[in-house]
Amino acid sequence: MKNNFIKLPVVLLFSLLLLPTISNASSISISARYSEAANTFLIMDCLSGWWNRTFCQDKGGEVQEYWTKKFGLIAEDQILFKKYDDIRKRYYKGLGVAKDDIGPYADGLFAKKSGITEDLLAPLFYSSNNLQEALAKVKKLVSDDDFIFLQSFYEHYKTKYQVLLDESTPFKKKVQELNKKLQNKKYNNFFSQIANYYQVSENMKYEVLYTWFPPMESDSSSPTNNFLIFQQNPIKHINSKDEDIIFHEIIHTLSARQPQKQKEEISKIFLDACPSVNNKSLDLYGGRILEEPMAVTIGQILFLKKFFPERLKWNSQLYNNPWISSFAKLINPIIEKELDQKLYFSVETGKKLGSLCSELFSAANFMNAQPNK
């Protein structure tokens, strides 16, 4: 993500630093559901390869590759995919429709608030149980011509994607088992505490949806609106334990919802304290500088320490990126202490984290400067 936040003078909000948890506490509930509509949508969305596959977490075109080997692809398919891609862009904020006005403050180093609702089509499928129900909602949003095409698009590929839907049957049992675990009120209390830390007061309800993905070594997950989408192979990954990944993704949605001014002020003071993070590294790494380490330290490290300490492996890489994994471990004591003291995420926190960032860069530069022996 390219972060072009405005560097305005910072007004330090000292009154926030020692306040207790806010009284209008956020309430967070989480449940899981298997949706044939969501599964169908994401299979075909990934297959089309729209917008360089960014939103399918499909970095290498694995779905197209798998589909080609199993069912084949011809020139006609590419024509249909192009029409589908055009429709997707027409109903995506910033591509076909205007972005939301988020006010005078930028998102800085954090998840975009506008990103929560940028995709107008996907939630219509995610909120539906079957394709017929989803298309009824789609009809109210899109033009008549676009609706006719989408209806025929799904009908055209039905016999093929149905094979993958049938393969997805184990997700139904997985969802039932996960729902039993998610009924633990301690989970909701923990994340209400995190929402308060980010100064998010709205009540939120999340649904975890499982969708088909080829049998790769790793699976993927991403938040969209109030849905947490898991893309897994229903055979290879059926026994995966996903609670910490679920909560990792929830942290991103809370981060996106924190006050915009807070995002900008913390981002600015962090970068002032860590000048090694320059415009070039921001363009390259964006949210991975601070956003992802925060999600790992809260959604994975602190969550596992609290509920599944036996699954927390400090001696292993916690994220498939050395900066994110290392920085998450480094900032963990600071975030844990602030949560224990019922403090807010604040500019003072940003200054502390920025200092650690600078120290980590200095250590890396020192080691790189040493001659090889």
Nearest to 263 by CA among 107, 53, 59, 147: 107
- C-alpha dihedral sign at 127, 131, 133, 137: positive
The one-character DSSP state at 99 is P
Please report, in angstroms and rounded to a whole number, the separation of the first and last CA atoms in the chain. 39
Q: Which three-class secondary structure state does DSSP give residue 237? A: coil
Q: What is the pLDDT of residue 16?
A: 33
β-pairing, 220-224 vs 227-232, is antiparallel
Residues 41, 260: Cα–Cα separation, whole Å: 32
pLDDT value at residue 20: 38
Instruction: pLDDT tens for the chain, 373 residues: list them.
Output: 333 333 333 333 233 333 334 445 577 889 999 999 999 999 999 999 876 545 565 556 888 899 999 999 999 999 999 999 999 999 987 666 666 655 556 788 898 877 777 889 999 999 999 999 999 999 999 999 999 999 999 999 999 999 999 999 999 999 999 999 888 889 888 988 999 999 998 888 899 999 999 998 777 788 888 899 999 999 998 888 888 888 998 899 899 999 999 999 999 999 999 998 876 666 656 678 999 999 999 999 999 999 999 999 999 888 888 899 999 999 999 999 999 999 999 999 999 999 999 999 898 888 887 666 5
**Packed helices 36-48 and 144-156: angle between N→C axes, nearest 10 degrees:** 90
Number of other residues whose CB lies within 10 A of the CB of residue 189? 12
Name the 3-class secondary structure at 164: helix
**What confidence score (pLDDT) does residue 164 get?**
98
* Bridge partner list, 229: 209, 222
Q: Which amino acid, one-letter code, is at 167? A: E
Tokens describing residue 122: 């996907």
Residue 210 has what DSSP assignment? E
What's the predicted TM-score (pTM) here?
0.82
For residue 25, give both structure tokens.
């506490």
DSSP E strands in 154-268: the ranges are: 204-212, 220-224, 227-232
> Within 13 A of 137's CA, how many CA atoms are on the CB side?
15
Of 52, 362, 346, 2, the residue nearest 199 (C-alpha): 346
Q: What is the 3-state secondary structure (H, E, C) of 270-339?
A: HHHHCCCCCHHHHHHHHHHCCHHHHHHHHHHHHHHHHHCHHHCCCCCCCCCCHHHHHHHHHHHHHHHHHH
pLDDT (0 to 100) of residue 19 = 39
Residue ranges covered by each domain of the chain: 14-22+259-369, 28-184+202-245
- Other CB atoms within a 10 A radius of the CB of residue 208 amount to 24
